[in-house]
Structure 1
Amino acid sequence: MVVLSRHWGKTIFPISSRHSHSQPHQNHRIIPQLNLTFNNREQQRTLLESQLVSLLDGCTHLAQLNQLHAHLFRRGLNQCSLLVAKLLRILTALNVPVHAYPRRLFDQVHNPNAFAYTALIRGYSLLGPFEESVVLYTQMRREGVRPLSFTFSALFKACSGALDVELGRQIHAQTVFIGGYESDLFVGNTLIDMYVKCGALDCGRRVFDEMPERDVISWTSLIVAYTKSGDMDAAGELFDGLPDKDMVAWTAMITGYAQNARPREALSLFESMREAGLKTDEVTLVGVISACAQLGAAKYAGWIRETCEKEGLSPNMNVVIGSALIDMHSKCGSVEEAYLIFKDMTVHNVFSYTAMILGFAMHGLADSAIKLFYEMTETEIKPNKVTFIGVLTACSHAGMIREGQRLFTKMQDEYGVTPEADHYTCMADLLGRAGHLEEALELINSMPLEPHGGVWGALLGACRIHGNSDIAELAANHLFKLEPNSIGNYLLLSNIYALVGRWSDVSKVRNLIRSRGLKKNPGCSWVEAKDGVVHEFFAGDMRHPKSKEIKDALDELLKKLKVDGYKPILSSVVYDMSDIEKERRLKSHSEKLALAFSLLTTSSDSPIMIMKNLRICEDCHIVMCGASRVMKREISVRDNMRFHHFRDGACSCGNFW
């Protein structure tokens, strides 16, 4: 007989039947008296077993199980594997520690069958310790008891819980060696799940491909795993091949697209889901809301809000939907609408407060964010680590050093929230933006935990603002070790060198980028036209159908701005080239193209909203300020850091970003 040779690095031996357990607690009688009289003892026993199984199905408390267990002894049924297996499953459902009462119950059965073994193996696989499920399986095989398909399903769950793919492969081999299980649908589904959770996605896919029969669980499990790994193309192929798509499969794809920064596909798929007549739930809508927030399109924001109301998921009553909508409206540029949703909610929790605080922070409304934070602390709702990231970010964007330092100190002292690396990132950003680079570096060096890329990145970004190439080199060297393939760090250091005229060092960094085969993400901006269509613009790309009109409109705008005193910030171009060429490059920045398009296609009294994937440069920031004044238009730009609201020649950031 084949016995597994290892489990979690140990040799497997038969277990001892001697265990130390606490006695089950009984506090009241719930089970009715069983009065059954039959001439035929076998008939009496069968009917008694049936009645006990029925009573077991209705058990919801340990006290009830204790009474039924007592009946088993009195009626001589304590060796009945069927009833023992039922008892074990219910004890597992009640989260009773397996090593105590359940194991003692099992050990009292002289010849347990496969159902009893499987019930206890399942208990270990769900409640732990996981390795005991494998020890018990080995004992089962030594006793000559043939496993059930459910036995292997439970074992695969144990391997998933322990993330032990090697042991999972051994058990997989057992299904083939013993024979008859490798084609079982239930075994196949849990095997796919095990490989996926252990990170062996290719093995899960091979199991799927070899299954003679598949159901919606088989398809959906693999779809979810490709979405989680970021392989949305493979997930899409599986989804398209799924014969009957249920709400879970649709939701997995929509959420996957949203989580992998493909919001347009998520929204398009949601429209298809609605057209197919499927009902949506909270999970689906949260994914859709996330996609809408990424895109920042007002058309979709209104549509999503209406859909929530139709599905009976009003943000006023549903705190999960309400919090998601607050985030969505904030990222779509309407922090006022977000706050209206917040105020109308009948129930609040830490997530709704945090979403609103983060919304205020990204719009530069530091006072509102801090005020709401203190309002929150006056309730029974306690701030969490994300809440503090929100208020510290608000302080950073507004240059409120003292308030930020005070909140950082109070985090642990008053609210019991231990600062993590992300909080130190906020503090390094706060100090660095305000020009306190040495103090920021000292803070990082005194951290009780290892700084991650975000912390050094905040310092490097601050060095870009203040042109400090010495501290920039130190921060960049750490980043090159922590994030060797992140091109943004190399470009930022190159930009800093360019600012101080160290062109030979610029060349060295550029050569390093080329030698490592790193590719720059192109600058991209997008706007929503009045018909709801989203138009994208890339830096230097003039392939838009209205390119000539856009170029002419932009030239006309820049002429007006120069009369008004605008001078191009040539330092925003980090290449060693002529001033004429630098000015030409500045004109092709994506947000300027999006601005010109909006001026061409919108009415003169309507606000302009521009979304951008990168940080807005200093020259574009000045152009937006000037355009808001000379064109008498309200202009908002959401870059990858925050919102900038331009009115009458000034920005909501106070030129502090």
Structure 2
Amino acid sequence: MAQILSKRSRRRWDESVISRSRGSLKVKEDCLQLRRETLPGISLEPNLVSQFLQGCITNQSLKPAQQLHAAIITTGAASDRFTSNHLLNMYAKLRQLPTASALFKTMAHKNIMSSNILLGGFIQNEDLEAARQLFDEMPDRNVATWNAMVTGMAQYGFNTEGLEYFARMGRQGFRPDEFGLASALRSCAGLRDIASGQQVHACAVVCGYETDPCVGSSLAHMYMKCGRLEEGEGVFKAMPMLNAVSCNTIITGRAQNGDAEGAVDYFSCMRRAGLKPDQVTFVSVISSCSDLGILAQGQQVHAQAIRNGVDAAVPVRSSLISMYSKCGCLVDSARVFRESNDADRLDLVLCSAMVAAYGFHGRGQEAIELFERMVSDGIEPSEVTFLSLLYACCHSGLKDKGMEYLELMCNRYSMKPTLRHYTCVVDLLGRSGCLDKAEALIKSMPVSADAVIWKTLLSACKTHKKVEMAERVAEHVLRLDPQDSASYVLLSNIRATKEKWDDVSDVRRAMRERRVRKEPGISWVELQGGEVHQFATGGRSHPKQREINRFLDELISKIREFGYVPDRSMVYHDMEDEEKEFSLAQHSEKLAIAFALLIMPPETPIRVMKNLRVCDDCHVAIKFISRITEREIVVRDVSRFHHFRDGECSCGDYW
């Protein structure tokens, strides 16, 4: 006859096992052996079993759970569906899918929860094929079943399939909950499918989940990913409570949609509201400061990251390296990099960021030295590292080194170059004058060419005055992107260098007919207090415009005395020489530099940002200005930095 324990004894034993399951979980064989010997014929309590198995999951301990499984079989508790489901969940969470599948097949009393547990296990372990098969075989499904499939597809990037499961769910009469809606919206965001996103939004309204924090954040993220900033922010304003997650979505959405200034402004609003920013916030805001080239604001955000204790995080430090670099402070980028790396071990992400920083400033040799140090330390470079390295070689005239690294990437590391890698190589070949090789590469590469890579070659045609090739290349660019204003301008300028004014007129007529507008040249300079002043080419809107023009006239007269001659070939219009010289003097970077020289203290470096490439005439003029004023002038154009000092430029006239 089986021994019967008192309730007090049984409770003591249960509490002992639960305590072990919540602690170290080093439950030895003698614990279960004691249970079998002391309590023959007494069934295991399901609640006790579930507590023990949950402890195994928490501590990722398989052996004690297997021992309990043996006891469950011995005592006959395996016939209890509650116990079997907890066992199934334990094996799924510990990634023991073959055991979980075998257990599922032998379960005498399965239910929907049993199937959902195994389905979740397959999805968690990225076995989507097995998940699909089990889903199709299930005789019954509930909302949790559908949610698992919608979420699983979205999680692994199968966004179209995720939306298909969501649509099937609705057609079969199931009302989605907040989890299914949020996952469907993530799929819409991944596809940038605004039409489907609006349909899911309507569904969320009908189901009453529009203001749910999870659904609201996903909804705003979807709108912002699709470029609908106002709708995204409107969703947040309708929510009953704003939190750090929702603010992050707004800031990231603005940054990703080119509204860097809006991202920085919203960060200020977030702080005034008393919400604490996290890593995600700082990465987005620092990246926005990079895009704007606003050093003072970037330094303030850096200080706030330190105060919030997130400055040591790799994504934040990587963003800081990039920010200081793009604001013209390569020394500060190097300082953050040095402080971020272990004495014995370099970090791949930070190294890639620093290689990119060197490349952006034309410091190709330093980029190569850091790359070689990485490799010697046993760090395997990523595709991003090679992209930054190729860029550095390109902007330093290191053609042979660049081609060597492309070969290394393919042969030693078995990486397939992406279109961005090939674009860098085409730029590398084009700048060095190997235009035929660059064109042959575009035609032979295994990925389809886009407008950007052809435009890169078109720019090289302008540099080397290859008119016939430019005409051919321009056809490819305009076929792929007929609204790209830069390509029309490049083609027009190439024709203008040969004084083919009728052909220039044809290009401008085509722009008018297709309603393509030339992007105006804009430069901006940041004063010491963080105040930013912007100038447009030929602009007349600045409050100090008369004073700037007067000072600029004097400056140009002085540099003429030192040998500066305006390069009238940089004016691509059929006009008198005097008009051409006046047009050159009104370029936005010249206006910005003249203003900075008037306002800023003599010992302060001048940092100017420009949205287009610095023209040849401005490049020569700024070299003369740096010489006669004895000032350091840093100019960031669309592709790189130029550090002017004592009449020389860091690019070595190669840009």
**Considering the TM-score relative to the shorter chain, is it more than 0.5?**
yes
> Residue 164 of structure 1: CA displacement?
6.0
Q: 272, 278, 282: which is aligned to 2:279?
A: 282
Partner of 1:621: 619
Q: 2:565 aligns with which of 567, 579, 587?
A: 567
Counterpart contact for 1:298–1:332, Cα < 8 Å: yes
Q: Which has the higher helix share?
A: 2
1:283-321 CA-to-partner distances (Å, cap 9, x unmatched) read: 221112111111222212221221222122344xx4333
Query: 1:309 — aligned with what?
Result: 306
Q: Shift of the alpha carbon at 1:328?
A: 1.2
CA shift in 2, pair 1:456/1:207, >3 Å: same
Aligned residue in 1 for 2:471 = 473
Q: Does 1:151 align with 2:151?
A: no
CA drift of 1:134 comes to: 5.5
Q: Which of 557-566 and 459-468 deviates more? A: 557-566
Identify the residue that residue 102 of structure 1 maps to in structure 2.
100
Secondary structure at 2:370 match in 1: helix
The aligned counterpart of 2:81 is 81
Contact 1:131 1:158 in 2 (8 A): no
What displacement does 1:537 show? 1.7
Q: Superposition pairs for residues 95-494 of structure 1, below 5 Å?
A: 95-97=95-97, 100-127=98-125, 129-130=127-128, 133=131, 136-137=134-135, 139-140=137-138, 142=139, 145=140, 147-160=141-154, 161=156, 163=158, 165=160, 168=163, 171-172=166-167, 174-175=169-170, 177-178=172-173, 181-182=175-176, 184-197=177-190, 199=193, 200-213=196-209, 214-315=211-312, 318-347=313-342, 348-494=346-492
Equivalent position of 1:70 in the other structure: 70
Match of 1:608 in 2: 606
**Aligned partners of 1:460 and 1:492 also within 8 Å:** yes
1:192 and 1:208 in contact (8 A); partners too:
no
Is the 8 Å Cα contact of residues 153 and 159 (structure 2) preserved in structure 1? yes
Farther off after superposition, 629-638 or 74-83: 74-83
Is the contact made by 2:151 and 2:162 (CA closer than 8 Å) also made in structure 1?
A: no
**Alpha-carbon RMSD:** 3.0
TM-score (norm 1): 0.86
Instruction: Note closer, same or farther for the CA distance 1:228–1:501 as it changes in structure 2 (3 Å cut).
Output: same
2:537 maps to which of 536, 539, 562: 539
1:515 pairs, out of 513, 516, 519, with: 513
User: Are the counterparts in 2 of residues 428 and 443 from structure 1 also a CA contact under 8 Å?
Assistant: yes
Point out where structure 2 has 5 or more consecutive residues left out of the alignment: 1-26
Write out per-residue CA displacement over residues 487-509 of structure 1, whole angstroms, 9 at most, x where no aligned residue.
22222122111112222322332
How many Å separate the matches in 1 of 2:397 and 2:167? Answer: 59
AA aligned opposite 2:303: E
| Alignment check: 8 A CA contact 1:299 1:532 kept | yes
Q: Specify the SS of the correspondent of 1:530.
A: coil
1:501 alignment partner, SS class = coil
**1:415–1:193 distance in 2 versus 1, CA, 3 Å:** closer
Name the aligned partner's letter for residue 297 of structure 1: I
1:573-608 per-position Cα deviation (integer Å, ceiling 9, x unaligned): 223333343333323322122112212211233211
C-alpha separation in 1, matches of 2:166 and 2:438 = 53
Structure 1 residue runs of 5 or longer lacking an equivalent are 1-26
Offset of 1:438 from its aligned partner? Answer: 2.5
CA distance in 2, matches of 1:30, 1:601: 83
Instruction: Please tell me whether the aligned partners of residues 606 and 634 of structure 2 are also in contact (alpha carbons under 8 angstroms).
Output: yes
Q: Which residue of 2 aligns with 1:576?
A: 574
Q: Deviations over 1:385-418 (max 9, x none)?
A: 2222333322222222333333333333445444
Q: Which whole-Å CA distance do the structure 1 matches of 2:160 and 2:408 have between them?
A: 44
- Describe the SS at the equivalent of 1:327: helix
Distance apart, 1:649 and its partner CA: 1.8
Preserved CA contact (<8 Å) 1:326 1:359: yes
Task: Show the counterpart of 1:49.
Answer: 46
Distance 1:457 1:534 in 2: 31
Q: Measure how far apart 1:343 and its partner are.
A: 1.9
Give the secondary-structure state (helix, strand or coil) at the position aligned to 1:526: strand
SS in 2 for 1:398: coil
- 1:32 and 1:301 map into 2 onto residues whose CA distance is 61
Change (3 A) 1:171 1:592: closer
**Pairwise CA distance, 1:135:** 5.3
Q: Is the 8 A contact 1:422 1:454 kept in 2?
A: no
What SS does structure 2 have at the residue aligned with 1:653? coil
Mapped partners of 1:432, 1:186: distance in 2: 51
Q: Percent identity?
A: 35
Q: C-alpha separation between the residues in 2 aligned to 1:34 and 1:250?
A: 56
Once residues 33 and 175 of structure 1 are traced to their aligned partners in structure 2, the CA distance between those partners, rounded to angstroms, is: 51
Letter in 2 for 1:582: K
The 1:429/1:85 distance shift into structure 2, 3 A limit, reads same
Contact between 1:81 and 1:115, CA under 8 Å: does it hold in 2? no
C-alpha distance in 1, partners of 2:30/2:227? 52
Counterpart position of 2:499: 501
Contact 2:162–2:184 (8 Å) recurs in 1: no
Paired residue type of 2:591: L
